[in-house]
Homo-oligomer: A and B are copies of this chain.
């Protein structure tokens, strides 16, 4: 190992590359520069940033006691309130727009439950069944391609009600840096959200550089159909998985087939506790992160009534990310 001491910090593959290219002697200088680059400039120094940097350094150090092979470097991120803002929930804004279009096409529906209640803004009286009916009516029935096109149209035109920017811009800048940092360190990053999977897939690459096959979400069954000699998929209203709470580990196991070593969710409705605990149950080293919405000035301040997520963080040792204290800025446009 001695001749390679200057590049000992590099992975075996990179070491071989550096040696074969004849630039190994310069690697130490490069490394010194590199180490001074802050990979998370929108994160303030603090316990959360330190926990992330230490964890990534440990699992990527070849031969180290906490080293994790690249193939097991799976990270799963919730979406609403974790990667982009959820005030309002963007998919709810989309659903409202589609309800308007639906009622314009079929005005007789406005007299039927649950659309009569929606028209009177009686949201408190809606049952889970009602909500599912509205989601199914607005998210299914069309082909996969038609649905994707509708979602893309929405993102091209709709604007956030208070920030006044397209919804594609209300992503958290510190999290974009974290996703990039993880990828740079050989992680495969998945989105694992309660949102409908096709809705997120329509924009996940543009927003987060996450390809469609790395998005896990609530999903409906589709079926094949022939249109003009071409096999297409039509979305049916049969619900297959609600990818929230206990559904998240189920969704991850079905899709990824192994536990994440890093999971990140947020405080709002307890929806991410099971995912974070699932990551912690990994036999490999793991890190569980929980975003806390405590910044009323720059974003929004809200908390669960029962405080379940923060209580779980204390009990299980999730690392809590304070948006107010840990993030130097929230949105790139601010």
Contacts and interface: CB of A to CB of B under 8 A. Distances in A.
A230 B277 CA distance: 8
Interface residues of A, number: 40
A219 interface: yes
Interface stretch (A128-136, A208-216, A289-297): A208-216
Given A219-B254, A281-B231, A274 B224 contact: yes
What secondary structure prevails in chain A residues at the interface with B? mixed
Contacts of A198: 257
A272 to B, nearest CB: 13
A171 to B, nearest CB: 19
A47 interface: no
Interface stretch (A59-67, A80-88, A99-107, A245-253): A245-253
Nearest to A212: B257
A142 to B, nearest CB: 13
A198 B231 CA distance: 28
A255 B277 CA distance: 24
Contacts of A246: 223-224
Nearest to A245: B224
A250 B223 CA distance: 6
Given A71-B211, A188-B213, A213-B188, A222 B253 contact: yes
Contacts of A232: 281
A233 interface: yes
Interface string A220-244: 0111100000111100000010000
A329 interface: no
A43 to B, nearest CB: 28
B213 A255 contact: yes
Given A71-B205, A254-B222, A231 B212 contact: no
Given A71-B211, A198-B257, A222-B253, 9 more contacts: A212-B257, A213-B256, A222-B254, A224-B274, A230-B281, A231-B274, A231-B277, A232-B281, A255-B255
Interface of A: 21, 23, 71, 74, 144, 188, 190, 197-198, 201, 205, 211-215, 219, 221-224, 230-233, 240, 246, 249-250, 253-258, 274, 277-278, 280-281
